[in-house]
Amino acid sequence: MENIKKAIHKYWGYTDFLPLQKEAMECLNSGKDSIVVLPTGGGKSLCFQAPAVTMPGLAIVVSPLIALMKDQVDALLECGVSAARIDSSLSYDEQKQVFESIHKKTLKLLYLSPERIVTGNFIEILKKAKPSFIAIDEAHCVSMWGHDFRPEYRQMGRLKDIFPGITIGAFTATATEQVRNDIAEQLHLSNPQILVGSFDRPNLVYKVQPKNKIENQVCDILERHKNESGVIYCIRRNDVEKLSDALNKKGYRTAPYHAGMTDKKRKKNQEAFIKDKIDTIVATIAFGMGIDKSNVRYVIHTGMPKSLEHYQQESGRAGRDGLEAECFMFYSAGDYGTWKSLMRDMPPEALEIALAKLNGMYSYCTNAVCRHKSILQYFGQNLEKDNCGACDMCLGNMEYIEDSLITAQKIISCILRLEQRFGGEYTALVLTGSEDMRILQNRHDKLSTYGLLAEFPKRTVRDWIEQLTGQGYIDKVGEFNVLNVTPKGFAVLKNKETPKLLKPAQKPAKVSKAALDSWEGVDRELFDALRTLRTKIASQKRIPPYIVFGDGALRDMARKRPSHINSFLDVKGVGEKKCKQYGEKFMNVIIEYCTEHSLDTNLD
């Protein structure tokens, strides 16, 4: 472990382990199988990369996507680590070169797809290389209970027979207990050590709002994040194209991404995003897995995802560098119906699982509790503080209406007066006193609950209905989502339960502690100058800017203002190779800036 710690400092420029990294590395180092669940941004990849550098032999990494393999290999080479990949995108000569490196035993890490590692001829080559261990990345793909099950990952169960005595580490950012157990069973792991980090991402600020003129809502966020990278998720392909086009017409730099596009077009747009040629990618859930872009400062969902696993994975693409990032979700009742409709052809067992996950997601949107706490509770963990300081609830962006109980009683009474035969939209029309033809024809304008909430917009009442549904006071039944009152709802009528109904707060939003801490002592003008240099270097080398240096390293440079090699090596995220390669260029910018502004250099 002492050698591993030295390697981490030498190649990656880190001096300490993140939570559970040391334990995960010790498992591989001592030959013990393991399942490691660390949140995005928790340093999962380093758990197998660092031991590979120090152990004899070649470590094999199984990864599901070419983009992910390329990204990680490029980053390792930049750090001075001998790594390679074999996939269909490489030419014959490039593949030949990799095979020669395997034969000469000069490689430390080899990235492969799950299909290739079990290919007959390839197995013999790997056996001769005497692998030090096998790391299976994105291991939730092994399990049918996972949110992104891939049948080809089931083949990984053969690895223990192919390589007798091999140590296997399974790594993922998202896995419930059921998924973890399935991974262990399918991979035939031998009494694995199961390491589960906290699912909490304290640097992410979660905000959830009902959808209302979504284009305007998105533009408000983009205005706050000018020249910063972000991802916008839409449920439908058509929405992706329309929104990206509309944003570009308003002067924002975006590109679309969805499964209906050609591979060439998707790859071109993804490359433009990774290399900061555009700021924002507008995508369906087809985008994301394997994208290791560390400087994503916001993720926007223009509709509700189909599970909290998906939401955690997709929102987790923000702030991978550990710096503050914002995660916005705009939802509507229609999103619930859309997903339910898309799931209708699923086998009964799979449908039951999918609907349970969808209901959990819907509850997250409508419950009036801390967002971080909700996510942790879903994954079986607890938030060890009363106020997370990083969500709309805890920052005071949202507040409760004063008469939640009376308002809830009016809504529930109306559902009962309508004999529990209508959906949320119709119920809201009755409560707001609409003169819609259907209501008049049904004589529902004569009900005692007609117009009880006429002083509020229909959208507000509609949202309260959704909040009551999410909190378990109302249930949606059948194909048409007819509202039924639950036992909890009847308890509200008897004053035995008090729901919490939200209204948007009028006071200005507070800034999260993560944002305040990450910018403390940073000269923002110097940070921008360093970022410009990074972009120039990345463009010349044709690699993503964050592979040169992450935002965290640039902020630390703009905080410490190093002007000589020793102090530059003290910057978090600067290893020996990067220091030799880029140190002089970045220090020149720092020295020139500090001279021009009469600032001291080499601060502690």
- Give 42 or 304, the one with higher predicted confidence: 304
Using alpha carbons, select from 462, 505, 423 the residue that is nearest to residue 211: 462
Look up residue 389 and give its two tokens.
């300081």
Give the residue numbers spanning the domain of 456. 400-504
What DSSP string runs through 206-246? Answer: EEEEE-SSHHHHHHHHHHHTTT-EEEEE-SSHHHHHHHHHH
Asked if residue 422 is part of any domain, the answer here is yes
Write down the pLDDT at residue 289. 57
pLDDT for 511 beyond 70: no
- Rounded Cα gap, residues 395 and 508, in angstroms: 10
For residues 559 and 527, membership in a common domain is answered with yes
pLDDT for 509 beyond 70: no
pLDDT for 505 beyond 50: no
pLDDT for 475 beyond 50: yes
Write down the pLDDT at residue 396. 78
Look up residue 84 and give its two tokens.
């390679």
* Mean pLDDT score across all residues of the chain: 89
Using alpha carbons, select from 175, 189, 199 the residue that is nearest to residue 27: 189
Range name among 20-24, 253-257, 391-395 with the lowest pLDDT average: 391-395
For residues 36 and 158, membership in a common domain is answered with yes
Residue 528 identity (one-letter amino acid): D
For residues 340 and 418, membership in a common domain is answered with no
Contact at 8 Å (CB) between 338 and 211?
no
CATH code: domain of residue 186: 3.40.50.300
For residues 386 and 263, membership in a common domain is answered with yes
CATH code: domain of residue 566: 1.10.150.80
- Rounded Cα gap, residues 200 and 47, in angstroms: 19
Write down the pLDDT at residue 290. 55
For residues 408 and 374, membership in a common domain is answered with no
- Rounded Cα gap, residues 223 and 328, in angstroms: 14
Q: How confident is the model at residue 363 (pLDDT cuts 50, 70, 90)?
A: confident
Write down the pLDDT at residue 382. 86
- Indicate the residue among 196, 216, 240 that finishes a domain: 196
For residues 230 and 376, membership in a common domain is answered with yes
Q: How confident is the model at residue 510 (pLDDT cuts 50, 70, 90)?
A: low
For residues 389 and 527, membership in a common domain is answered with no
Asked if residue 392 is part of any domain, the answer here is yes
Write down the pLDDT at residue 58. 94
- Rounded Cα gap, residues 10 and 15, in angstroms: 9
Using alpha carbons, select from 45, 47, 30, 59 the residue that is nearest to residue 163: 59
Phi-psi sector, 549: left (phi>0), alpha (psi -120 to 50), beta: beta
In this prediction, residues 482-501 reach a mean pLDDT of 93
For residues 10 and 100, membership in a common domain is answered with yes
Contacts of 276 (CB under 8 A, 6+ apart): 229, 535, 538, 544, 545
Q: How does 67-87 read in b/e, with b if 16+ C-beta sit within 10 Å?
A: bbbbbbbbbbebbbbebbbbb
For residues 435 and 341, membership in a common domain is answered with no
Q: How confident is the model at residue 31 (pLDDT cuts 50, 70, 90)?
A: very high
Q: Domain tally for the chain?
A: 4
Asked if residue 602 is part of any domain, the answer here is no
- Indicate the residue among 335, 363, 396 that finishes a domain: 396
For residues 225 and 372, membership in a common domain is answered with yes
Its sign, for the CA torsion 288, 289, 290, 292, is positive
For residues 377 and 416, membership in a common domain is answered with no
Report which listed range, 123-132, 149-158, 409-418, is most confident.
409-418
What DSSP string runs through 68-137? Answer: HHHHHHHHHHHHT--EEE--TTS-HHHHHHHHHHHHHT--SEEEE-HHHHT-HHHHHHHHHH-EEEEEES
Residue 582: how many CB atoms within 10 A of its CB?
Answer: 18
- Rounded Cα gap, residues 321 and 43, in angstroms: 9
Token look-up 């393999």 returns 69
Contacts of 455 (CB under 8 A, 6+ apart): none
In this prediction, residues 31-42 reach a mean pLDDT of 89
Q: How confident is the model at residue 504 (pLDDT cuts 50, 70, 90)?
A: low
In this prediction, residues 385-396 reach a mean pLDDT of 87
- Indicate the residue among 474, 504, 534 that finishes a domain: 504
Residue 384: how many CB atoms within 10 A of its CB?
Answer: 8
- Give 366 or 261, the one with higher predicted confidence: 261
Using alpha carbons, select from 354, 390, 397 the residue that is nearest to residue 509: 397
Give the E-state strand segments of 235-308 in sequence order.
254-257, 280-283, 296-301
Residue 232: how many CB atoms within 10 A of its CB?
Answer: 27
Q: How confident is the model at residue 124 (pLDDT cuts 50, 70, 90)?
A: confident
In this prediction, residues 274-295 reach a mean pLDDT of 83
- Rounded Cα gap, residues 85 and 61, in angstroms: 9
In the chain, the percentage of residues whose pLDDT exceeds 70 is: 97
Using alpha carbons, select from 368, 315, 304 the residue that is nearest to residue 205: 315
Look up residue 213 and give its two tokens.
């003129």
Look up residue 529 and give its two tokens.
């100058």
pLDDT for 222 beyond 90: yes
Contact at 8 Å (CB) between 512 and 205?
yes
For residues 533 and 465, membership in a common domain is answered with no
